[in-house]
Amino acid sequence: MSAPSNAGTILDRILESRRAEVEHRKKVLPTTALKYGVAAASPVRDFAGALTRPGLNVMAELKPASPSRGVLREPFEPAGLAQSLEAAGAAALSVLTEPEFFRGSLKNLRDARKSVQIPVLRKDFIFDPWQVWESRANDADSFLLIVSALSDAQLKELLGLGQELGMEPLVEVHTREELDRALSAEARIIGVNNRNLKTLEVSADTSYALVGAIPEECIAVSESGISTNEELAKLRAAGFDAFLVGTRLMLSDNPAALLAELLGAAARKD
């Protein structure tokens, strides 16, 4: 099965931009050089373990901007944000590295990871094995795979390479068909994105519709559009192991205080 066409969507435009940049970067920095970087990288932190700790597990997302909301945070200081969010109780971090639409960078990833002890996921639009080697060479502990952007063959290859490098990927789905494809590829961490990447509309109904079809042995993560303690508690009760919270935190004057409030209030409702 081939990945569905995304012509005319924001996802299509992002992928077109990323493909051009990756092709250029591969010529400048071949895979052989990246493998030397991987050999010198810090040991991989246990991303799957962080998402399955007792209690509420929130992956806090660091991103300067988004296609749907524009600039979210300026100035953007990844090290300080990462430290404060870890202290507030984040189980892991997700750092955007896509430069054009999210204003991200690999430097943000490195700076964030150096400042914390929790695992850090590279969030980007990954479709080439070269990007997986690049992620590990920059000390990422995991990375995102978006099922709708990949063919079955790509998904299986990238998932397998990540597992080989000790980086269990977060495999993102939005529909039952995408979930079935992820499970067929033997994904172990399933992220249900409540945001439709083609329209940017957000609905938590997506998580509730799909969580029952995620096998017990998989780690289930609800992503996007989570903004209150009540939503966290309901999603946890529905069967999710972890939650990604990004825009809500980045728009806050005090992201760490907001995260602590979300975790504490939701925990008291258990």
Pick the catalytic residue: 84, 193, 207, 222?
Answer: 193
3-class DSSP string for the chain: CCCCCCCCCHHHHHHHHHHHHHHHHHHHCCHHHHHHHHHCCCCCCCHHHHCCCCCCCEEEEECCEECCCEECCCCCCHHHHHHHHHHHCCCEEEEECCHHHHCCCHHHHHHHHHCCCCCEEEECCCCCHHHHHHHHHCCCCEEEEEHHHCCHHHHHHHHHHHHHCCCCCEEEECCHHHHHHHHHCCCCEEEEECECCCCCCECCHHHHHHHHHCCCCCEEEEECCCCCHHHHHHHHHHCCCEEEECHHHHCCCCHHHHHHHHHHHHHHCC
Pick the catalytic residue: 84, 86, 94, 123?
Answer: 123
Pick the catalytic residue: 57, 63, 194, 229?
Answer: 63
Pick the catalytic residue: 108, 135, 224, 229?
Answer: 224
Nearest Cα neighbor of 262 from 88, 72, 95 is 88
Pick the catalytic residue: 86, 134, 168, 172?
Answer: 172
Q: Is residue 224 among the annotated active site residues?
A: yes
Q: Is residue 123 among the annotated active site residues?
A: yes
Q: Is residue 63 among the annotated active site residues?
A: yes
- Residue type for 107, please? K
Pick the catalytic residue: 98, 134, 223, 231?
Answer: 223
Q: Is residue 61 among the annotated active site residues?
A: yes
Q: What amino acid positions are annotated as catalytic residues?
A: 61, 63, 123, 172, 193, 223-224
